[in-house]
Structure 1
């Protein structure tokens, strides 16, 4: 086992009850033979973290959340190979069982008995986090840690696009929802050679950014009847719903061409009610509809993670404008309050740790 000199305790944001994040000293996690201790440098706030903090959507309390992170390896278990002290890394937060049928068939995201860093076990809104060695991915030493903490949400976007199948040049695509994932889906579609990407949202600030980073056209759905617009202008070959809004999840079926593809990336927050005439479009148009769950493939954690690191390293993906707010870990719940304040114009909010 290798380990640099580290203290016995660390600072962490501990969720003790709904809306209560406590900045406090806790014991630094121990690592097993096949685990790595990471000194966290940056940790992003995911939309799922909002539900955990604001609505108590956790598996147990108290808990340290946070799964979008990067940092430096400061400890390695006795059986860990190919990972060294001082490596700059990020980590896949899913911990599959590697025993169930889905894992053995190369579908770790479908694992029947998985764990998850920052959800089912303590996460990275802390100075240190323990991670299975197989989850660790090295990043270039010159990569900014805040940018590297965007790798996990970027992999979600890449996986969603992979679920659409082969993308044909000259096609058109719609990205409905202009949050962090939507911004990454837009950019990844451009990388894949889809030039005509329409982005839809109701937030003018986000739409302006989408335009800046390459959207073919942006549409404010609070001002434009999007179904009428695409019926008149021509429907899209691919449609991606990233907002997780039930009305939109029904509506996007009306925006895609016959034989087109619909990918649901956003998690449903309410029941999705599809009118009969809209549902019939699935049958008459023989639409290809799929869901996209997390961001993993085989061999674990998957090609999405390698691609995300490559995209960031090459500069193909813009993240600086997407990271709108940065906080120290000590700021605690203020970072979440900022995310929920519509006047703050937030996209990705990030904790910077161990600066």
Structure 2
């Protein structure tokens, strides 16, 4: 994500373990805990409990891996969250690849901002959140003092900080972040489903704030990833005629998923303007670009009707050469939608709780120990949404022994 400030060195969160693992560690001889107890995933170093975390280890591209870090504890205003599941998205891939706009990231850092979990403990001065609550985290923390934040657009704060990029995120058993970043969840929404709230909130903002859809509009959504598929469903719910556009390799999985969700599809290539117009019975009024591919942006410019509108919700790995005169002479309206704010999260939670958005088949689960495989699957396009399940029982809503007792002093 572009424009965030340098990472803050908050206490590093991590891990993959359980309460049972803690008891096993406690039974091991203190001086032999790492070597003698081979079944324990949790170890100790200098008296600190260690946990497994996955993230970016060094500035070089794709230097990813696991590391052992100390269990975090919440400071004033913070909350400690036990992670159930965490998605991997395009921003994580940009960060892993050290793409332009992500140079400010200071490894090592635990990645992951699309996570859901349970509040394990809260620090002093934390308000609005209690131990035991199911939560998701808003990915961006604004300063809350500037005019931008006061206007409600914390996602645009010049001093914003991003969980999983500026400081440690959700690819770990436990993570610490400001309590103000947490959004409470209804108890009947499974945490595995709630891990999709963040990408859905991005689509909510793109369609609710930046794409003014009226019933009968013809809309193309390019990029059949999670945000594109969510945006297409939301546009259809608003009454638009929608076509989801992908490349040929998307046909077997991503576009097939779109069709299962009741959406029409097409593939890019020569004559795309004609094929889109045939599918929609006319040129598109609007185009939501969610692929991050420069070619898709150029297709949108040449295909959307005169006087039409483009909404860009993707991040791009580099510059795209666009002739503004072409857009001016067609009176095209551009709108850019970046991330989301708390209100968008609340709307996303309600949509998922009501079952108003199709998600079946969208996510492929990976255990934390296979987080590297999850990144490779995302990188290759093999899966639509890799979902790292940190605590399977918690993610599925089964009773779990979590330490949801009292605030930490």
TM-score by length of 1: 0.89
Distance 1:341 1:117 in 2: 25
Distance 1:92 1:228 in 2: 40
Q: Is 1:103 aligned with 2:103?
A: no
Question: Contact conserved, 2:210 with 2:336, CA < 8 A, in 1?
Answer: no
Distance 2:361 2:156 in 1: 33
Using the TM superposition, name which of 140-149 and 170-179 deviates more.
140-149
Match of 1:79 in 2: 125
Query: RMSD between aligned alpha carbons?
Result: 2.0
Give the secondary-structure state (helix, strand or coil) at the position aligned to 1:129: strand
Question: Contact conserved, 2:85 with 2:192, CA < 8 A, in 1?
Answer: yes
Using the TM superposition, name which of 242-251 and 304-313 deviates more.
242-251
Unpaired runs of at least 5, structure 1: none
Q: Is 1:124 aligned with 2:134?
A: no
Question: Contact conserved, 2:57 with 2:108, CA < 8 A, in 1?
Answer: yes
Q: How does 1:156-305 map to 2 (within 5 A)?
A: 156-194=202-240, 196-202=241-247, 203-205=250-252, 206-215=254-263, 217-222=264-269, 225-230=271-276, 233-275=281-323, 279-296=324-341, 301=342, 303-305=343-345
Question: Contact conserved, 1:164 with 1:238, CA < 8 A, in 2?
Answer: no
Distance 1:176 1:22 in 2: 32
Decide whether aligned partners of structure 1 residues 340 and 107 sit closer, same or farther in structure 2, where only a CA change above 3 A counts.
Answer: closer
TM-score by length of 2: 0.77
Match of 1:311 in 2: 351
- Computing the radius of gyration from Cα coordinates, the structure with the larger value is 2
Match of 1:353 in 2: 390
Q: Is 1:9 aligned with 2:50?
A: yes
Match of 1:19 in 2: 62
Match of 1:320 in 2: 360
Question: Contact conserved, 1:147 with 1:320, CA < 8 A, in 2?
Answer: no
1:165 positional shift = 4.7
Distance 1:10 1:171 in 2: 51
Q: Is 1:40 aligned with 2:87?
A: no
Give the secondary-structure state (helix, strand or coil) at the position aligned to 1:186: helix
Distance 1:138 1:187 in 2: 25
Question: Contact conserved, 1:20 with 1:333, CA < 8 A, in 2?
Answer: no
Distance 1:178 1:317 in 2: 15
Match of 2:396 in 1: none
Using the TM superposition, name which of 229-238 and 328-337 deviates more.
229-238
Give the secondary-structure state (helix, strand or coil) at the position aligned to 1:10: strand
Distance 1:319 1:230 in 2: 25
Match of 1:339 in 2: 378
Question: Contact conserved, 2:266 with 2:276, CA < 8 A, in 1?
Answer: no
Choose the corresponding residue for 2:368, options 299, 308, 329. 329
Using the TM superposition, name which of 234-243 and 95-104 deviates more.
95-104
Distance 2:242 2:262 in 1: 8
1:81 positional shift = 2.8
Q: Which one has the bigger strand percentage?
A: 1
Unpaired runs of at least 5, structure 2: 1-18, 23-47, 393-409
Q: Is 1:89 aligned with 2:135?
A: yes
Count the aligned residue pairs.
337
1:36 positional shift = 0.8
Decide whether aligned partners of structure 1 residues 267 and 19 sit closer, same or farther in structure 2, where only a CA change above 3 A counts.
Answer: closer
Using the TM superposition, name which of 63-72 and 203-212 deviates more.
203-212
Distance 2:128 2:155 in 1: 24
Give the secondary-structure state (helix, strand or coil) at the position aligned to 1:307: helix
Distance 1:94 1:330 in 2: 26
